[in-house]
Structure formats: structure tokens, C-alpha cells
Amino acid sequence: MVKVAVVEGDGIGHEVIPVARAVLAAVRPDIEFFDVEVGYGLWERTGCACSEETIAGLGSADAILFGAVTTPPDPGYRSVMLQIRHTLDLYANVRPIRGEGVDVVIVRENTEGLYSGVEWTEPDRACTVRVVSRRGSERIARYACTLAKSRRHLTVGNKANVLKSDCLFVDTCTREAARAGVPCTARYIDALSLDLLMHPDRYDVIVTTNIFGDILSDAAAYLVGGLGMLPSANIGERAALFEPVHGSAPDIAGRNVANPVAAIRSAAMLLSHIGDPASATAVEEAVGRVLCADIRTPDLGGSAGTREFGAAVLREVGQGKA
């Protein structure tokens, strides 16, 4: 029995996650789902967006399927997403960008950097400390090198020309790549961002620090149809969480127009993680066939609703099994 925790979260999480969950249930009837509520909506009702006990509950699952949470820019509010990533030590944020002529994986360090949580506010200034540790860099470098070893090469996105913390990051990644026998190039993140959009074929696995990976992955969505398309995995030693790269999209929430592909692809990554790559491939192929049949949500120029797109994927998944 596989136990999957399901968090819809806020906004379009309530729309795309039921679709992804239905696809999971169709390919793996043995999965036992349990719902967990976290997020801004819960905070508005109860004053607590996510408790430590809730996170412990998430950690007891074999995998977590997560939608998105709304984070208001309120200095008193702690991002639920960061709380979960830190508490479960989900150190590797893996963001594949696949589409026509594009096959890149961004591996984002997920626990430190500018998201170290070391910050304070004084009357006339506010400080956030960018922590890059040797341990943190080594483990993300090893993760990226293991992935790059079965692919082609590694690029280290950095700003070591300016930031001392990135000198440590680049050194560590370069050393790990040499040890693993992986061809490795360091590139400054500003030039890399443009080059990735202009020449995606030059890139394979990109490893980078926390916020650079955050920004680079949203920008890279441009290559494959936008944010509705990109899945991600947050991997730790003892827990793993799968979520679309996009957020709760309050501007389109509640209208059945959100693209569920990113959420469905996140479910496919979850299937690989629990040791079922065949089902993962079946889901990916079903999504591909639906898109080829020109069934698309409005962000891709179509007129299908979230639920209608999901129903089409479910039909394809069913046929794939027959």
C-alpha cells in the first residue's frame, strides 16, 4: 500500500490537484490518499497556516502531492512552502523543462541561500543573510551530478564574480563534477538566463542556488508554453513532495481555466519516485496525446476547461492500459 498525502492549498490548487489525483488513482488504484489542509485560507480561518504536527503528518506519507499556497507579502507571515521544505529537509528542487527542442533539468538548492531564514528587520533597514554551506552545496552538487551522469553535462548557475557565497558553491560543484566524471561549466546567472532562452539546446542539467533557481525556472517556462506546463519534485532523504512550479494564481482561480498539465506531470514525477516509471511514462504520454489532439486550456490558446482537460487525460490513460 502506497500512502500519498494530498494538499490542494489555495487558489487554483483546488482545481488542478483534484485532476492530478484522479489521474494517479486511475493508474494506481492501490494508492491510499489522505487530505491535508494548509495555506492562507486555513490561516484566515484559524490563525495558523500550517502546524508542526501537520508537517509531521505529511512526512509520514510515502509521497506528497501539493498544489500551491498563497503567500501574502506580510512581514509577520511565514511562507508555508518554506516551512515544509525546511522542516522535511527537502533539499533538492528538481524542475524538468521539456518540450519541442528543449530538455533541461534545473536542480535548485532548496533549503538555504537567500531562503536561509536568517533575517531581521531594524527600524531603518531589513537584512536577509545568504547562507551557502559546504554541506548544503555538496549534497545538491551530488544530486545534480548523479542526474547529469545519466544525461550529458552540468552547468553551474552562479554569481561568483560578486558573491563570496557563490565562490564556495561553484568550487564545490566543480569538484563534485570532476569526482563524478561529469563535464561541467560555470556560467554567470544573468547571462545564463538569456542564453537558456535563446539556445536551450546548449543546456542539460543546471544546478544553482535557491533564488536563482526559482527565477530561472519561471523564466524557462517560456520555452515550453508557460507556467501551466512545469512540474517539480522537492526531494529529501526521508520525504518527497511533488508540485507544479506555478503558484496559486489568484487572478484566474475558481474559473475552471487553469492548466492542470504541471500538476499532472508532478503526479508523474511522484510515480517515478515511488518506483513506478512505467505508470509515469503512461501519464506523460497520455498528456502528450491530449495536447496533440488540440485539447488545450486557454493559456495554450485553447478553450478546454481544467476539468475537461483532466477528463481527456483520464480517457487516454484508460486506453493506454487496455
Residues that bind ligand NAD (CB under 6 A): 12, 16, 68-71, 81, 227-228, 243, 246-252, 258-259, 262, 299
* In the complex, minimum distance from the CB of residue 15 to ligand NAD, in angstroms, rounded to a whole number: 8
- For residue 249, the SS3 value is coil
**What span, in angstroms and rounded, lies between the C-alpha atoms of 310 and 298?**
14
Active site residue 115: yes
Cell numbers representing residue 51 in the block: 502546524
Residues 6+ apart with CB under 8 A from 179: 145
- For residue 94, the SS3 value is strand
By CB under 5 A, how many residues form the interface with Mn ion?
A: 1
**What span, in angstroms and rounded, lies between the C-alpha atoms of 111 and 92?**
8
Which of 14, 38, 71, 207 is the binder for ligand IPM (CB under 6 A)? 71
Residue tagged active-site, from 10, 204, 214, 276: 214
Choose from ligand NAD, ligand IPM, Mn ion, none: what does 258 bind? Cβ within 5-8 Å by kind. Answer: ligand NAD
Q: Show the 3-state SS of 13-47.
A: HHHHHHHHHHHHHHHCCCEEEEECCCCHHHHHHHC
- For residue 250, the SS3 value is coil
Residues in region 178-237 near Mn ion by CB under 5 A: 214
**What span, in angstroms and rounded, lies between the C-alpha atoms of 322 and 22?**
18
Active site residue 159: yes
If the CB atoms of residues 229 and 313 are measured against ligand IPM, the closer one turns out to be 229
Active site residue 74: no
Site for ligand IPM contains 214 (CB under 6 A): yes
* In the complex, minimum distance from the CB of residue 125 to Mn ion, in angstroms, rounded to a whole number: 26
Choose from ligand IPM, Mn ion, ligand NAD, none: what does 82 bind? Cβ within 5-8 Å by kind. Answer: ligand IPM
Residues in region 247-276 near ligand IPM by CB under 6 A: 247
Query: Nearest 5°: CA angle at 118, between 116 and 119?
Result: 125
| Contact residues: Mn ion, CB under 5 A | 214
| Contact residues: ligand IPM, CB under 6 A | 71, 79, 81-82, 214, 245, 247
